[in-house]
Amino acid sequence: MSPKISNDKKEQQKNKIINGAIEVFRQKGYEQTTMKDIRESAGVSAGSLYMYFSNKEEIFINILEQRINKQDLKIRLSGNESYWQQIDIYINNIKDYCIHIQEDIAPIAYEYTISAWRENHRKSFLSTRYDMGREYIKSLIEKGISTGEFDKNVNSILISNFIITSFEGLNTLSLSLGHEKINVDEQIKLLKEILKFKLQIK
C-alpha cells in the first residue's frame, strides 16, 4: 500500500507543476509546449504530472483562472463607493493590466485565445469569461439607474458591450505595440468621458 499524501503536499506538488509550466510557456509559447517540457521544467515524474493534470490545456486553464481570480481581488470594494466609482475602479484596473500586459503570461493567453474561433471548447471558456465581465458592469449600471445616479434611458447591455470591446482592443494593441505607442492613459480618459456623458454623471 502506498503512503497517503497530505493535502499540503498535494498542493505543493500541484504548484510546482504550475510554476514549471509557466516557465516553459513563457519560453516556448502555448502551441509549442508539450507535457514532456512541463514535466522536465517542473522536475516531476510523468506519473506525478498526470496525477494532477490530463493535458497542457488543463494546466493552462488552471493558470488562467488563478490570474483571473487575482485580478478580481484587485477590484474588491469597501461597499461605500458610488456605482460610478465602482465602474471607475474597474476601468483603472484594466488600465493597469494594459500597462503590464507584456509581463507574466498575458502574451501566451492571447496566443491561446486567438485560435478560439476554431476550437469550440476554448470559445466556451472565453464566452463564459466575457459574459461574467459584461454582467458585472451591466449590474453596476442597472443599480445606478435604479438609484437615480445614471440616466434611466441608458441601454445597460449596449454600454457594457462597448466597455468590454474597448478593453479588448486596448489589451490587444498594448500587447502587440506597447501601451505607450497607443497612449493607453489618454484613451482610458476618453473612455471615461464618453461613459460619463452617456450615463449623465453630474
Where does the pLDDT of residue 19 fall: very low under 50, low under 70, confident under 90, or very high at 90 and above? very high
* 26 within 8 A of 61, measured Cβ to Cβ: no
- What's residue 57's pLDDT? 92
My answer on whether 109 and 10 are in the same domain is no
Q: 10 Å Cβ neighbour count for 78?
A: 5
- What's residue 158's pLDDT? 96
- What's residue 180's pLDDT? 94
My answer on whether 86 and 49 are in the same domain is no
More confident residue, 94 or 194: 194
My answer on whether 95 and 169 are in the same domain is yes
Q: 10 Å Cβ neighbour count for 75?
A: 14
In 3-state terms, what secondary structure has residue 153?
Answer: coil
User: What value does the mean pLDDT of the chain take?
Assistant: 88
The yes-or-no verdict on residue 1 having pLDDT over 50 is no
Domain residues for the domain of 186 are 75-199
My answer on whether 20 and 93 are in the same domain is no
Among 93, 116, 109, smallest CA distance to 167 is for 93
C-alpha cell at 82: 458610488
Percentage, residues of the chain above pLDDT 70: 92
My answer on whether 147 and 179 are in the same domain is yes
- What's residue 75's pLDDT? 62
151 within a domain of the structure (yes/no): yes
- What's residue 72's pLDDT? 66
What lies within 8 Å, CB to CB, of 10 at 6+ separation is 52
DSSP string, 31-92: HH--HHHHHHHHT--HHHHHHH-SSHHHHHHHHHHHHHHHHHHHT---S-S-HHHHHHHHHH
* Range with the poorest average pLDDT among 55-59, 105-109, 153-157, 170-174: 105-109
